[in-house]
């Protein structure tokens, strides 16, 4: 089930509590001869994604429409019949904009049913990628809103994306997420509802897609995987509206990375293939290198050595083609050494320790921002432990802990805990002292 953010937003707008809605639905039902006994717990289930039975969705529309003094339909409350086209909203994107901004609003308000939602699997996870790949395309994304959107507004969103991405790299997703979500609600949502031509609208949707993708990264880094996935799906829809397939491929790379973390390796391979196939010439060498490297990790975890090695060769070939200054802003994360650390992880899974050590050492020797350096040092420490060099691994882990201090990131905490456990298990001379340093870095409140 997907949380019903549209219903949540309308409840907030109408100023009605969960218990209040339940009572009004019961009252409206009695007028139709229905004996309903809903309580606030039923409304909480509806907000989590459960669909009420019978005439109840219509009663909810009646209650909310009366409070808001305007017609409210099933699509407006997120209870349109699955598989049927929604009621006319003008531009086909209008319904999406309302759903997207409702999610941002619920996220900023820290709604538990949003923050705690699990990532979807199966068809609901695959459909947004399929819809990005296939027709129909958006022939006109213009909108006749009251406030006119101009090029300076688009430039603001692009600058915000760069600002929050840098903040994420320096401080972690936990510290950055609240700030970027606040910006989405205060600055981005009014622009999407504004007035713009088709040409400017495509630029606006592209800039918004890049910003929403960073919000998804921050949610992923905060362990809010269902929320992160919904942000990534939004960013993919915005990329399609912009007509920029390269941006869509970048968003799919984020979904591939999340799939790997969640253990959905076959899904990771399929998503990467979809990006490479559909975006084609719009995929830059940096993004292609990352997609192939992540495919290599997925194949390695599946035990497919030949598939992993083939993807490693493709990743290395694409990495050789990267030219600074010729990549879009979004692929700036593919810094020198990133492919090395991805390849090292794949080789480690395959048991190719010498080759993994070579790539991990190359990654560490290449300059990187602090967040990336922590991941690279963690990988090198793991390889050193597997090669029977615990004292050297402890020295590497010490630098890793120092670099991680002050960062609010669940993914970095995962890395630190993994290295700490392996070091303590090794029984090396410096294990206890290094473990204390790692514990110090882990004490940063999230």
- Of 72, 87, 102, at which residue does a domain stop? 87
User: Do 47 and 114 fall within a single domain?
Assistant: no
Q: What is the mean pLDDT of residues 48-56?
A: 91
Residues 303 and 425 both lie in one domain: no
Closest CA to 300 of 250, 354, 363, 342: 342
What is the Rg, in whole angstroms, of the alpha carbon atoms belonging to the chain?
Answer: 24
My answer on whether 101 and 181 are in the same domain is: yes
Q: Looking at the structure, tell me whether residues 68 and 182 fall in a common domain.
A: no
Does any domain span residue 414?
yes
Both structure tokens of 34: 């229905």
Q: Is the residue at 269 inside a domain?
A: no
pLDDT in tens, 123-166: 889 999 999 999 899 999 999 999 999 999 999 999 999 999 99
Q: Are residues 383 and 356 both part of a single domain?
A: no
**Number of separate domains in the chain:** 4
Query: What pTM does this model have?
Result: 0.86
Whether residue 434 is contained in a domain is answered as yes
Mean pLDDT of the chain: 92
**What are 402's two structure tokens?**
């120092």
User: pLDDT tens for residues 334-367?
Assistant: 999 999 999 999 999 999 999 999 999 999 999 9
| 8 A C-beta contact, residue 377 and residue 412 | no
My answer on whether 96 and 230 are in the same domain is yes
Which residues touch 159 (CB under 8 Å, ≥6 apart)? none
Flag whether pLDDT at 232 surpasses 50.
Answer: yes
In tens, the pLDDT along 414-442 reads: 999 999 999 999 888 888 889 999 999 88
Written as one string, the DSSP assignment of 273-332 is HHHHHHHGGGS-HHHHHHHHHHHHHHHHHTT-HHHHHHHHHHHHHHHHT--TTSS-GGGG
Identify the sign of the CA torsion 336, 339, 340, 345: positive
In angstroms, the CA 328 to CA 324 distance is 10
Tell me how far apart the alpha carbons of residues 341 and 144 are, in angstroms, rounded to a whole number.
48
Q: What is the pLDDT of residue 441?
A: 87
* Confidence grade of residue 91 (pLDDT, cut at 50, 70, 90): very low
Which CA distances in Å does 182 have to 103, 169, 179, 407? 12, 19, 5, 21
Six-digit token string for 17:
């509590």
On whether both 59 and 107 belong to a single domain, the answer is no
CB 434 within 8 A of CB 399: no
Q: Does residue 150 belong to any structural domain of this protein? A: yes
At 148 the three-state DSSP class reads strand
Report the range of poorest mean pLDDT among 14-18, 264-268, 338-342, 386-390: 14-18
Examine the domain organization and report whether 219 and 95 are in the same domain.
yes
C-alpha–C-alpha distance, residues 136 and 106, integer Å: 30
251 domain residue, yes or no:
no
My answer on whether 147 and 233 are in the same domain is: yes
The reply to whether 264 falls in a domain is no
Are 110 and 195 members of one domain? yes
Q: Is the pLDDT of residue 84 over 80?
A: no
Q: Does the residue 336 lie in any domain?
A: yes
Count Cβ atoms below 10 Å from residue 259 Cβ, excluding itself. Answer: 25
- Based on the domain organization, do 117 and 236 belong to the same domain? yes
Q: CA-CA distance, 358 to 353, in Å (whole number)?
A: 9
Q: Mean pLDDT, to the nearest integer, of 183-195?
A: 96
Is pLDDT of 205 > 90? yes
For the residues 169-176, what does the mean pLDDT come to?
Answer: 93
Residue ending a domain, choose from 60, 87, 114 = 87
Which of 228, 201, 169 has its CA nearest to residue 375? 169
Give bridge partners of residue 195 from the DSSP assignment: 144, 148
Domain contains 212: yes
Beta pairing, strands 143-144 & 195-196: antiparallel
Q: Is 143 helix (H, G, I), strand (E, B) or coil?
A: strand
Host domain of residue 377: 369-446
Looking at residue 104, its pLDDT comes to 95
Residue 396 structure tokens: 């590497």
Task: Determine the pLDDT at residue 444.
Answer: 65
* pLDDT at residue 15 greater than cutoff 50: yes
Point out the domain boundary residue: 87, 121, 137: 87
Contact yes or no for 256/272 (Cβ under 8 A): yes
Q: Determine the pLDDT at residue 86.
A: 38
Whether residues 389 and 434 fall in one domain: yes
């Amino acid at each position: 089930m997907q949380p019903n953010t549209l219903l949540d937003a309308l409840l907030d707008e109408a100023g009605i509590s969960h218990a209040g809605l339940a009572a009004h639905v019961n009252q409206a039902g009695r007028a139709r001869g229905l004996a309903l006994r809903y309580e606030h717990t039923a409304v909480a289930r509806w907000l989590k994604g459960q669909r009420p039975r019978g005439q109840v969705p219509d009663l909810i529309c009646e209650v909310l429409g009366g409070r808001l003094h305007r017609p409210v339909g099933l699509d407006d409350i997120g209870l349109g019949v699955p598989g049927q086209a929604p009621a006319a909203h003008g531009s086909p994107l209008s319904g999406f904009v309302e759903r997207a901004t409702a999610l941002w609003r619920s996220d900023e308000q820290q709604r538990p049913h949003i923050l705690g939602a699990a990532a979807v699997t199966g068809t609901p996870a695959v459909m947004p990628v399929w819809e990005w790949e296939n027709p129909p395309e958006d022939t006109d994304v213009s909108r006749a809103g009251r406030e006119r959107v101009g090029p300076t507004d688009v430039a603001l969103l692009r600058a915000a994306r760069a600002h929050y991405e840098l903040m994420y790299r320096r401080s972690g997703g936990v510290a950055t997420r609240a700030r970027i979500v606040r910006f989405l609600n205060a600055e981005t949502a009014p622009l999407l509802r504004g007035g713009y031509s088709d040409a400017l609208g495509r630029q606006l949707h592209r800039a918004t897609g890049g910003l929403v993708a960073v919000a998804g990264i921050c949610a992923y880094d905060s362990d809010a995987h269902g929320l992160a996935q919904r942000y990534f799906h939004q960013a993919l829809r915005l990329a399609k509206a912009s007509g920029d397939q390269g941006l869509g491929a970048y968003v799919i790379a984020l979904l591939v990375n999340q799939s790997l973390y969640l253990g959905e390796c076959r899904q990771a391979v399929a998503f990467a293939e979809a990006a490479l196939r559909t975006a084609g010439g719009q995929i830059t060498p940096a993004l292609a290198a990352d997609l192939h490297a992540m495919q290599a990790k997925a194949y390695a975890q599946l035990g497919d050595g030949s598939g992993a090695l083939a993807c490693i060769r493709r990743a290395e070939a694409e990495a050789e083609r990267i030219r600074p200054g010729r990549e879009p802003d979004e692929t700036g994360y593919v810094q020198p050494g990133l492919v090395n650390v991805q390849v090292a992880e794949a080789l480690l899974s395959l048991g190719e320790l010498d080759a993994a050590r070579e790539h991990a050492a190359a990654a560490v020797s290449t300059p990187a921002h602090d967040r990336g350096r922590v991941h690279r040092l963690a990988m090198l420490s793991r390889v050193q432990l597997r090669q029977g060099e615990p004292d050297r691994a402890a020295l590497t882990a010490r630098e890793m802990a120092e670099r991680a201090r002050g960062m609010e990131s669940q993914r970095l905490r995962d890395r630190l805990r993994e290295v700490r456990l392996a070091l303590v298990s090794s029984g090396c001379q410096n294990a206890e002292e290094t473990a204390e340093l790692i514990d110090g870095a882990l004490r940063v409140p999230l």
